[in-house]
Amino acid sequence: MVTLHTKLTEVNHAEIEAKLRALHAKAASWLEVHGIPIGMRRIAASIDLAYQGQNYELPLPLSGGGDGALPHLPSVEIIRRDFINLHERTYGYSSADDPIVVVNCRLKATGARIENRAVPIHKTAQRNAIGLERRSVWFSDDKPLAAQILRRENLAAGTVVEGPAVIEQFDSTLLLFPGDRASVLEDLTLSIMVAL
């Protein structure tokens, strides 16, 4: 996501498109690094719009994005028309004359799961992973608990991690509450059972 907060005009259309292209370049790089074939890539993009002076915006999805392509940014006239219609449907009123502001550009990249794909495992991956580090983590208002801290790339297929635990990786953190269980599948995805 990139925040713009700029008026929807012909002049600013190129800036909006440039921001979407920059987000797409980052997403394409991420998909490439993770080995997602082009035919299995999906890109979803939207722009958040509001009437100038409003403090709430509506997301307007952009069409396209199959095979990892950048969704098409329509002309200013089409964006304006679609936003006015969306605002009318959502709030029951609209204005054809009020200025429109582009608040954010959003882009989401996904790849279809590839069955039986060989996934590289870190050289130090362990099937019976033990958190070498422990930290105090708050799971409730009562008191913090000692939780094992694990690196995602160090978990081999077949590993089972019991909560309380924290699994860290470069782009996310997974918190396992007491009683939760994460199992590393053969393709290195995590299957999580949440304690009730």
Q: How does DSSP assign the chain, residue by residue?
A: -EEEEEE--HHHHHHHHHHHHHHHHHHHHHHHHTT--GGGEEEEEEEEEEETT-S--EEEEES--BTTPPPP---HHHHHHHHHHHHHHHHS---SSS-EEEEEEEEEEEE---TT------TT-BTT---SEEEEEESSSS-EEEEEEEEGGGBPTT-EEESSEEEEETTEEEEE-TT-EEEE-TTS-EEEE---
Q: Which residue has the tokens 């997403």?
A: 27
Query: For the chain, what is the largest distance between any 2 Cα atoms, rounded to a whole number of angstroms?
Result: 64
Tell me what pLDDT residue 2 has: 93
Q: End-to-end distance of the chain based on CA atoms, in angstroms? A: 34
pLDDT at 121: 53
Count of beta carbons in the 10 Å neighbourhood of residue 53:
8
pLDDT at 125: 54
Q: Which residues, 6 or more positions from 132, have their beta carbon under 8 angstroms from its beta carbon?
A: 149
Which residue ranges form the domains of the chain, and what is each CATH number?
A: 2-111 (3.30.1490), 133-193 (no CATH)
Q: What is the pLDDT of residue 119?
A: 47
Its pTM stands at 0.61
Strands of 58-62's sheet in order across: 2-7, 100-111, 41-51, 58-62
pLDDT at residue 65, as a whole number: 84
Q: Using an 8 Å Cβ cutoff, are 73 and 10 in contact?
A: no
CB 49 within 8 A of CB 58: yes
CA-closest candidate to residue 49, choices 94, 93, 83, 96: 83
Q: Average pLDDT for consecutive 10-residue bins of the chain (196 residues)?
A: 93 95 93 85 95 95 90 96 97 96 95 60 53 85 92 90 92 92 90 86
> Which is it for strands 181-184 and 2-7: parallel, antiparallel or unpaired?
unpaired
